[in-house]
Every structure is written in structure tokens, then in C-alpha cells.
Structure 1
């Protein structure tokens, strides 16, 4: 199978990969955690055969399948999970995904990340080779759902310690998933082949998967039409509309726990002023954007949290439903209060990663800002340069994204806490942080969700980001490729579950 993967992966180390990046997609096939998902997105056993939760909800015991091996034939044991989790929170590794263990409320995770407690005091233990125990600070309803996040996957200790950062090179690589790394040609492709040591190898059908680093949806489409690609990463609107009429069976879409956003650098003037941020947000016609520009069934967004979390009612920006002329007048007044107007127009430097669709959206939004007298400088960046710019704060406004790895409002909101490693905006409000803290201590879901709602109201008022739409990831998939998930809000598609049928 050949699938387009959007861009060059930054890493295939499960302990370091960030969610919903090109590397994250590949690691789904190379490694496996304690828990995976079925075709409906429900949690099912992965490397674990079962798990038990203590009566107080603070101790989770995982029982591993017997006979688990790494791809080099060495035994995989509970110690491999201990090593991987300790490595994730170890400040010496420079890891930026260890916060997931803090989010999961693993004992001492926060203290270790802060450098106040030794790594070996993390609340994890191998009771024996097949039994892995995790201790939590408090009952955590979403803990099991988090186990499909790559930070919680095992890594091969012997290989990592022998080769250091180069352990992910094909000649050194060892994995525990359905596939193992065969070849990595930078900026071109990654090839993986079946892992004969994988516990469910007998039910894996596809022998080899190639992930193409194609940032251009147009290039994807041309190669898809030529029969060189079985699954694209995206679909441009014009091709989507054409195929919906002529060959709808080739369109596959998944609603996911994610939002397409524009991030402000709130530490740089004038975007440290909430009035400026609100003005730019309120004049964007999201309905026009999703119907005419995106046009693939994505719902418009007036808050960061998607409407896929059962029983949670997200906060909505106050300007939703306000007449467009009235919004423009309100926005002009907000900019005027920040000393911007006809005699002193606001200039916005907007960066985005290479993509025709991102460019098209940026051009449309620039046009929507024009009635305010705003001048927009667009800057296209390759993926890794774009990530570096966001990480270092070298931007004013950036096309971005917010994804949740589990179905809990916290998973979308946590990144906006003061000092959070994923807080690219620099937004910081102790009231917001306190609401999230209180939600984590709430005794009922209703109370927890109400506190999250209040936090989201504060976020909307401050507008460190502009939510534009909630993701529905649409792809072109060849009709002979079957096994595509019916539903998976996390967006996971496992190659081990896919198969080909004869072309009709």
C-alpha cells in the first residue's frame, strides 16, 4: 500500500513524536501500546491482554500477552514500558511529550518533569515480566483512552542505549508493532514491512506500506489518479466535488477530535492585546469558509473543543450570529481602541506550512480582514521550518491546529495553560488554569464539564487562537482498499486492519 502522508516526518521515535504529525501516522504501524482501537474507535487490548482498576481508581494493572517480542526477536516485557515511561518524563532527554503522563495523573510525573524528584520514583512498576502496574494521584476516567498516545508506547531499551539518537535509523531500528522500518529516504518516502514477530502477524494482510512525503494535495491527486497512491492525505475542494458526483465510493471521511485554528503570538505586540485578537477573529465568515473554500462537510468552529464529546456543551464565541456589518463595525472599534485605523493600519505577518489549501484559506481570510484596513504578509514555510518557527515564537500569526488524543475537553484545553509545553501562543491566565485544576478534582462528570465550559468561555474572551473549523479528515481511497475504520475520533488508521480485494 502506498499512502500520501503530508510532509516529511520529524521522527519515528514514539517517545518524542507529537500527535497528529506525519511521524505520528507512521508510528501507528511501527509500534503498539497497551491499548489500541477497533473499527468503531473503541478501546481494545493491544500489547495488554487485559487490565484491572483498583477499587479506589488509583492503581491500574496491565497484564501483557504472553510471547510478545520485539522485531529483532528479543522478548518484550513490562520493563520496556517502565523504561519508556521514565524516559518520557526524564528532563535530561529533552522530551516535550512527557506532559502526557502528567495529564494522566501518573504519580510523581509532574515533579520529575520539574526536576524535583528522581526519575525512578515515577509511579510505574514491573511486578513481573508480564505485569505492569501504574499508580495515579487520583482516579482518572480518561486514563485508558490515553494509552493509544505514542508517549505511552514501549521503546527497546537496549537499542536506544546502544545507538542513542540514531536508534531510529533503518539499520538499527527495532519495533513492536505490525510493521518495522525498512527504508527512509529523506523528503521522499518511508517504507515499512511486516514485522514477523508481531503477535497478530497471521491476521496482517498488507506486506509493505510506503508513506510519501507529499506536501502538495495537487501532487497527491495526480499520483492517485495515475494509480501510484492508494490513499491520499487530503482532497482539494474541486476534486472532492467532482468525485462526489462521479465516484463517491472513493471518498472516505472521519470526523476527528481536532480544530483548524490560527494562533496568535500573544507575547508580541500588538497581539498581546486581546482587543486586536478579538477584532481579527470576529470578522471571519466561518460559514463561507467551510461551505465555499473547504467544502467537505467540516463544521464551522466558534470554540476550540469539537462537538464530538458526549454530554459536553462547548462554549461559543459571543459574536456568533451577529450581522456581518455589525461585526465589522465592532471590530473597527476594537482596533481603534488599540490605536489602529486608516492612518495607522495593522500589519499581520501570517505563516503557514506548504499546502495549496492552507494558502487558499490564508488568502480568503486576508480578504476578510481587508475591510478593517489590515495589511497581510503571507509567508509559506516547509514543515520543519514551520514547526521550528512556532516552537521558538518566531511568528505573529500562524496557521495551526489543536487535537485531542482522548475524548475529554481537557485534552483540547490543556495546551492553553501557563507554561504548557504545547502552548505556542504564550497565553497565560491563572483563572483558566484554576478552572482546569478544579475540573480535575471534580467528583462528577457534570461538575467537571461545567468547569471546562467556564474555562472555554474565558479562552473565547481572550482569543489567543481563532478557531475556524473542526476537522473532518477526508481522503481519497482506492475502492479495492478495504478495512477503513467506520469511526475513530482520534483519526487512527491501522495498516494491519486494511486489505485489498480484486478490482471489479
Structure 2
């Protein structure tokens, strides 16, 4: 019965007669991509979820864009220059730019795009990303000037975000919110939305007026699949070319049976637990450090998680620091030596056989978070530490963190941009309730602030690493490992490049003709 049911499911997935199913299958000039959720919206300034942003990036282009490796490259602007103080960037637009409906546009469009992003009626969820931009102006029809509040060598990456792309304001002004319902939708990028069947698929075709060479693949199909196991099955049955995720529990099987299809790659994310430094026992850095010393990070990353995660003693992924990661001096000690030092620190803080350290580990609902929490509690028993577990659903969990109602809690950070400051500013007192640990260090804040106004890239990165090392030394958070992304990519797809930002524009993908 199980085999019959599975065969029936596969036949249903691959489509055995329906024209609609056939039209959304991989073809000789059609790539099918599975996203992990349905598109939430089509207006690039009104979305923030990853699935919607990926579709928006295929349709809208800004002054810059991201290449297959996740790096910024010229987009609508052919080149740019930067003032000596790093505060003024001047972008020269390409000649003859047009939207997909044939309407021409020039540099005067971009100040209007900026004004719309800031407008309260737009209610852009990504507006905060652009707080460092003081103004956007048009020098003339060919040049856009972006003025910053502080130097930002990563501005070209920021401006590749769809929220700052060229939007068809002439259609928006005329049609209002209905402009996103038009088919094909008016766009500025390589593809335009031709059809969208909610909870089924979105079909994109080449934009005939795009300034660059036509994208190598004529049609891109985006299909929502919120169940990663179903997505994996559809992919393996030949019903899709790319799956944005697969179950962690299937990682080992995929690596053993389909090593050329499975991609597990370091990501812009750090997994850690936050100490509540506002009150005892974790207002004492000796207690925090002692617990950190007793954690077997390599074992957690490789055995508890087991999907290729890299153990972490610090906040910043090594790809953002030139491969140089901050570590405490005891990171390479053997376990027994670390436990001896940890017991000494706890004794100095007043804890030991006569007074056990007790607290609650809080985590949000997830098998992964539970396994890690159980592992931590077990490792700390060697220190006579009694850690109990408390589980709640995500909304309640993070509400408790914002209200400081916890002792030690599961947290983490996935960056919006591949830049160190996107991680580091989270732990400044100025971040308010978002600084879950309540970390309050004038030295740390000063280093981050100095890094943010430093123009020279090498000096800036050196200061970012110093801030990261300061976090390691003070231990307001307990870093455990860096995130990875999991993807499945068909052997017929060329142009895919693994990268830390998990950016894979459809215009960079093509179908192998071998």
C-alpha cells in the first residue's frame, strides 16, 4: 500500500496529463525553481520575506545588482565614483534605459524612488536598512548622487536590494496598488511576471526591453513548497530544477546518494544562546565564560546538527573577516583542562558543591533547538550545574527575550547584508530591546562606532574583528555554530555558484546543452 501510494504521489507531482502541470515542468528552455513559501507581494518596497525578494530581484534592477557569487556589479549604472571622505557616491546611468512597457527613464527617477521608500504610506518593512543614506539626488539626467551619513564601502551591495530598484512610477501613479496585478507586469529587470497562480506557480518571461543581453533562459517558474520533504521528492522525481531547501534529516542520505545534487554551504548566520546579563547569575562574566568553556561545539555541530555547520566561538562568520575568526585563548584546550578552569571561575563567583548554579534554558519550538538545549544541559552537569528546559512557540519566545524575561535563551542572527556591522550593531545598547542579552560595553560600542566611520577597508575590517574579539572576551552570548544553507540543484543547470549570501539570480542560470 505504501509503495502504491508513493507511486501515485510521484505521478501526481510530475503531471500525467494536465496541460497546466506540463507547462510548469522543467523544459528545454524553462527552469523550475522551488521556493520555501508563497510570494507575499510583488511591490519591492513592501516586502521583506526571502521568497518574495528573490522573485523581485529577477524582475527589478537598481543602480547595482548581484552576480552569481553574490557580489555587487554594475546594474542600471555602468560605473560610479566615491568622494575621498566616502560620503558621496556618484553613479552614471547607462544610455537608453527603458521599462518593459517601453517607457524611458533617467536619473531623475531615483530621488522619487527614495522618497517613496521613506513615505509613511509605503510602510516599507526594509526602510531601516537604508538609514545610513542621507539623500538621493539627480545631478542631471545621467548621474545619480547618493549621500551617506557615514562611510559604507558596502553601499553597492545595499543598492542592489530590490527596494531601491527602478520602479515604474508612471504605472504606479496611474494604477495605484493595481499596478502589480497587470500582466505582464511593468519591470526594469531581466524578467517580467507573465502569470501567477496563487499557491501553484509564478511564470516569468524575458523582458524584451532590458538593457543587457537577454537572460540565457527564456522562462523561469517559481513554485512555492513550504514542506521541504515534498520539495525534495518533487525535485528527485524530475519535477523541478532547483529546491531552496531540503530536510536536515535527509542530509546524510543525500550526500551519500546524490553528492552532485546536494549543496550545504556556509551562510550569513550565527547560531547562539543569549545570556541575560542584566541580573544574576549571568551579570557575572566569570559565570558566562565558565559555561562556555564546558561546551563541546564541534560535537554539537557535527553530531547534534550534522548538516555541515562550522563550530563557532565568535559572532562573525569567517567569510566576513578574511577567514580570520576570533577565539578565546582556551578554545583549543582539551576538555579536562577547560573544566578545571571553568570550576575555578565558578568558585570565584560563589558556585560549587555547596551552592549549585541553577537556571532555565529557554528555547522556541524546534527539534533542533531542543536537541541543542538538552546537549548543553548535559555538558554542564560536569560543573555541578543544574539547567532545566523551557519550550514555547516562537512568538512567545521572542516576546520574552524583548521583555528580558529569561536567564539563557536560544537566539541567533541571519544578516540582511554580507557585512560585519549587520551582526555587530545588534549587540549595542542603542539597539534597545533587540539587544536581547542587555550587553552594555562602552568599549565595544566605541570600537563599532569607530569602524563605522572608517573609510579605509583594511582598517575598517580590523576594527570589526576587534569588536568581535571583545564580544568573545565578555561572552554576553554563547556562540555555537554558523548556519548553512541547503539546496538541491539539477545536473542540467549551469551557472550556479555557492556563496555565503545564498544569492542565485535567475539571469545567471542556464540549461546545459550537453
Confirm or deny a common fold (TM above 0.5).
yes
Aligned residues: 475
Distance in structure 2 (CA, Å) of the matches to 1:421 and 1:204? 47
Deviates more, 1:251-260 or 1:491-500: 251-260
Equivalent residue number for residue 428 of structure 2: 417
CA deviation after TM superposition for structure 1 residue 288, in Å: 1.0
Equivalent residue number for residue 32 of structure 1: 61
2:482 is the counterpart of 1:470: yes
CA deviation after TM superposition for structure 1 residue 368, in Å: 4.3
CA deviation after TM superposition for structure 1 residue 453, in Å: 2.7
Equivalent residue number for residue 78 of structure 1: 107
Distance in structure 2 (CA, Å) of the matches to 1:369 and 1:132? 57
- C-alpha contact 1:206 1:498 (8 A) present in aligned 2: no
Relative to structure 1, the CA distance from residue 401 to residue 9 in structure 2 (aligned partners, 3 Å threshold; closer, same or farther) is farther
Relative to structure 1, the CA distance from residue 261 to residue 85 in structure 2 (aligned partners, 3 Å threshold; closer, same or farther) is farther
2:137 is the counterpart of 1:125: yes
Equivalent residue number for residue 237 of structure 2: 226
- C-alpha contact 2:428 2:435 (8 A) present in aligned 1: no
Equivalent residue number for residue 499 of structure 1: 510
Equivalent residue number for residue 412 of structure 2: 400
1:332-390 Cα shifts (integer Å, max 9, x gaps): 765995989987842222015x6x65565555455545663211123354xxx589758
- C-alpha contact 1:193 1:209 (8 A) present in aligned 2: yes
Distance in structure 1 (CA, Å) of the matches to 2:370 and 2:63? 39
Unaligned runs of 5+ in 2: 1-30
Equivalent residue number for residue 284 of structure 1: 295
Distance in structure 1 (CA, Å) of the matches to 2:392 and 2:138? 50
Relative to structure 1, the CA distance from residue 500 to residue 347 in structure 2 (aligned partners, 3 Å threshold; closer, same or farther) is same
What SS does structure 1 have at the residue aligned with 2:471?
A: helix
CA deviation after TM superposition for structure 1 residue 194, in Å: 2.0
Relative to structure 1, the CA distance from residue 442 to residue 43 in structure 2 (aligned partners, 3 Å threshold; closer, same or farther) is closer
Distance in structure 1 (CA, Å) of the matches to 2:197 and 2:32? 14
Relative to structure 1, the CA distance from residue 344 to residue 268 in structure 2 (aligned partners, 3 Å threshold; closer, same or farther) is closer
Match of 1:242 among 253, 265, 268: 253
Distance in structure 2 (CA, Å) of the matches to 1:464 and 1:162? 52
Distance in structure 1 (CA, Å) of the matches to 2:166 and 2:433? 22
2:166 is the counterpart of 1:154: yes
- C-alpha contact 1:350 1:395 (8 A) present in aligned 2: no
CA deviation after TM superposition for structure 1 residue 207, in Å: 0.8
- C-alpha contact 2:35 2:222 (8 A) present in aligned 1: no
What SS does structure 2 have at the residue aligned with 1:320?
A: coil
- C-alpha contact 1:178 1:198 (8 A) present in aligned 2: yes
Equivalent residue number for residue 36 of structure 2: 6
CA deviation after TM superposition for structure 1 residue 303, in Å: 0.9
1:20-60 Cα shifts (integer Å, max 9, x gaps): 83433333323222222333444321122222334554432
- C-alpha contact 1:166 1:172 (8 A) present in aligned 2: no
Distance in structure 2 (CA, Å) of the matches to 1:417 and 1:474? 31
- C-alpha contact 2:429 2:435 (8 A) present in aligned 1: no
Name the Cα RMSD after superposition.
4.1
- C-alpha contact 1:282 1:327 (8 A) present in aligned 2: yes
CA deviation after TM superposition for structure 1 residue 456, in Å: 1.6
Distance in structure 2 (CA, Å) of the matches to 1:247 and 1:358? 27
Relative to structure 1, the CA distance from residue 224 to residue 77 in structure 2 (aligned partners, 3 Å threshold; closer, same or farther) is same
CA deviation after TM superposition for structure 1 residue 2, in Å: 3.4
2:405 is the counterpart of 1:375: no
Bigger-Rg structure (1/2): 2
Distance in structure 2 (CA, Å) of the matches to 1:388 and 1:73? 47
Match of 1:308 among 319, 325, 332: 319
Distance in structure 1 (CA, Å) of the matches to 2:237 and 2:291? 42
